[in-house]
Chain A
Amino acid sequence: MSPQQRLTLVEKPERRFALTLVAPGVLVLAVTTTFPLVFLLWQSLQNINLAMPGMERFVGADNYVRMWGDARFWAAFAFTIIYSGVTVSLQLVIGLGMALVILQIPRAQWAFRMAAILPIVLAPVVAGLFWRSLMLTPDFGIVDFASRSLGLGSHNWLGDPTLARVSVIAIHTWQWTPFVFLYMLAALAALPADLYEAARIDRASAWRRFVHITLPLIRPAIVVVVILRITVALSAFAAIYAATGGGPGTVTEIINLYAYRVSFVELSLGYGAAAAVVLLVLTMLVAGLLFRIRR
């Protein structure tokens, strides 16, 4: 028997076995995800309005053309970029900073890990509700109380357009910074200690050690965490929905909320599908770009 033949004798059953094991998962994903997405694309080319059943018809690219001229869509598009850009940057800077600080504290690190878990396991809809009621309600929300006590006055945190945007960004940042913190803590803890020793002997300052040694070493972890956080931020829904519902008016709408309201409040499912397709493409583009940077 030639080595070639022996190889195929061993490999063939293994390949078949591997395919058998993967098949159910891939089939389920094809049925539950790929098929609905194809249907979504088809929907986005239709005029479907649930308020007018029986009027469905193929309209080609009409929904996309309409979206191109829709100021509300562009506002949602812009706020999607701002929302994910700002929340992810804040999460990264604060989370990494916190991890660096906490690593210096010799004791009670478990307390920080415990506390960090709390926002992460909280359902985003509950986080949104807690902030809307207990934190931000004028007069008896704790943030408003603090603002009044500091002489900054009472504010309509979720009713004023600018403050509402700041608030939904703050809520998302509050909930997910602990994730980045834990991620960075793990990455930093895995760094070899001897590198620092060498740098310390060279009398490098703490800032230079961070920029020239730590940062390059944890760069892969940073890229991964940014990918994870951006994809979540792009499809954030429940916290904004619970806190402002996209309002006042439409100012806190990200594309995700915009597509939801168009589809399920205004009942234009075709037009909403087109908005969802745009978000899908945007997510894939951003993720693809970041994956490329990673290499």
Chain B
Amino acid sequence: MTSRRLRTLALMAVGACLLAIWTVPILLAVITSLKDEKEVLAYPPTLWFTPTLKAFDAVLFGPTNILGDLATSLIVAIATTVLTIVIAVPAAYAFARLKLPGRKPLGFYVLATQLVPPIGLIIPYFLILNRIGWMDSYRGLVLIYMTFSLPFAIWLLVSYFEDIPREMEEAALIDRASRWQALWHVVLPQARGAIAVTVIFVFLNAWNEFLFAVVLGGANVRPVTVSMYNYINTEQTQWAQLAAAALMAMLPVIVLGLAAQKHIVNGLTAGAVKGVGRR
């Protein structure tokens, strides 16, 4: 064996360890969710056992099932995503492309709002929403979700809009298309990919949010991240059910994450490539 091949093998071994570390908690959850509650508590942990779907049956169709909370998460995440996109796309376009008066301070403002720690918002929101009667409501939750989704979406879209070539847009304007027409018919079709990436991120973040949901939600509006937590809060934790519920709750984002892996990496690293090589 050449030293080169040996080196590749060693690298593969290191890589395999990393893969294991990243996936172990999730694989463990899959295994645990297929066990009987008694089997879970066996020591040493068993790897060979008769799989059962009892835990999934309980969390999906049992008396304390999570289906309602899944629906709540879906409504909140979709509403947040739609509102965010409708507001962020035009704003990002103006930031990236047009002669926007006060562009620097406005851009700085959007960036600064993205840095605000959620705890700084949840305390005033708690009092304000109580006062106006929006606690435990979809309105209240979507409103506060806009605080993290909107600056993020604008910032992400700006970096994409800057890369779209200007020629077609300029040609349309010379052909006497109005600004709105140029934006709608020429720019937006070219930005479809960017908007798709932004939709994925906003949806993921809204779906996974916990702090706002646990404080501002309640019996009516309880996203699934909060119902997760309730599984461990009980006197005797039902481990298999906790694992099954968590997997069901995370199924949409895991599927979305794996299916749109390329786009997500693209969005995450939007800033990584641009600065590289410049000293």
Contact = CB atoms under 8 A, between A and B. Distances in A.
B15 A36 contact: no
Contact of A118 (B26, B117, B179): B26
B272 A119 contact: no
B269 A182 contact: yes
Contact of A259 (B94, B119, B126): B119
A140 B109 CA distance: 49
B158 to A, nearest CB: 11
Interface in A112-170: 112-127, 129-135, 139-140, 142, 145
Contacts of B207: 123
A142 B243 CA distance: 14
Contact of A101 (B11, B28, B275): B11
Interface stretch (A16-24, A61-69, A85-93, A197-205): A16-24
A113 B43 contact: no
A139 B43 contact: yes
B82 interface: no
Contacts of A17: 94, 98, 179
Q: Classify chain A's interface size.
A: 35 or more
Interface string A22-42: 101110110011101101100
A21 B29 contact: no
B210 interface: yes
Given A17-B179, A25-B150, A242-B229, A119 B117 contact: no
A228 to B, nearest CB: 8
B124 A36 contact: yes
Interface stretch (B57-65, B83-91, B189-197): B83-91
Interface string B25-47: 11011001000000011111100
B168 interface: no
A276 B125 contact: no
B52 interface: no
A179 interface: yes
B122 to A, nearest CB: 8
A234 interface: yes
Interface residues of B, number: 98
Interface in B137-158: 143-144, 146-147, 150-151, 154
Given A122-B26, A134-B29, A142-B24, A43 B127 contact: yes
Contacts of A114: 258, 261
A280 interface: yes
A47 B126 CA distance: 16
A118 B44 contact: no
Given A98-B18, A139-B43, A122 B253 contact: yes
A45 interface: no
A114 B228 CA distance: 25
A49 interface: no
B87 to A, nearest CB: 5
A73 to B, nearest CB: 14
A121 B254 contact: yes
Given A13-B179, A36-B128, A40-B123, A237 B277 contact: no
A187 B91 contact: no
A282 B271 CA distance: 24
A43 to B, nearest CB: 6
A118 B265 CA distance: 12
B211 A121 contact: no
Contacts of B239: 133-134
A29 B110 contact: yes
Interface string B50-82: 000000000000000000000000000000000
A122 B250 contact: yes
Interface string A271-295: 0110011011001100100000000
B16 to A, nearest CB: 9
A241 B122 CA distance: 15
A111 interface: yes
Given A18-B101, A182-B269, A33 B121 contact: yes
Given A125-B229, A129-B242, A178-B22, A21 B91 contact: yes
Contacts of A140: 40-43, 45
Contacts of A190: 272-273, 276-277
Nearest to B14: A101
A142 B143 CA distance: 40
A123 B225 contact: yes
A48 B271 CA distance: 43
Given A19-B100, A24-B87, A126-B225, 17 more contacts: A18-B98, A25-B154, A28-B150, A101-B11, A115-B18, A122-B254, A129-B231, A184-B272, A190-B277, A191-B277, A221-B275, A231-B115, A241-B210, A276-B117, A277-B120, A283-B115, A284-B112
18 contacts: A15-B99, A18-B98, A18-B101, A28-B150, A108-B15, A112-B19, A115-B19, A118-B22, A129-B232, A130-B25, A130-B243, A134-B243, A142-B45, A218-B276, A221-B275, A276-B117, A276-B120, A280-B116
Cβ-closest 4 pairs across A and B = A220-B275, A121-B257, A25-B91, A123-B208
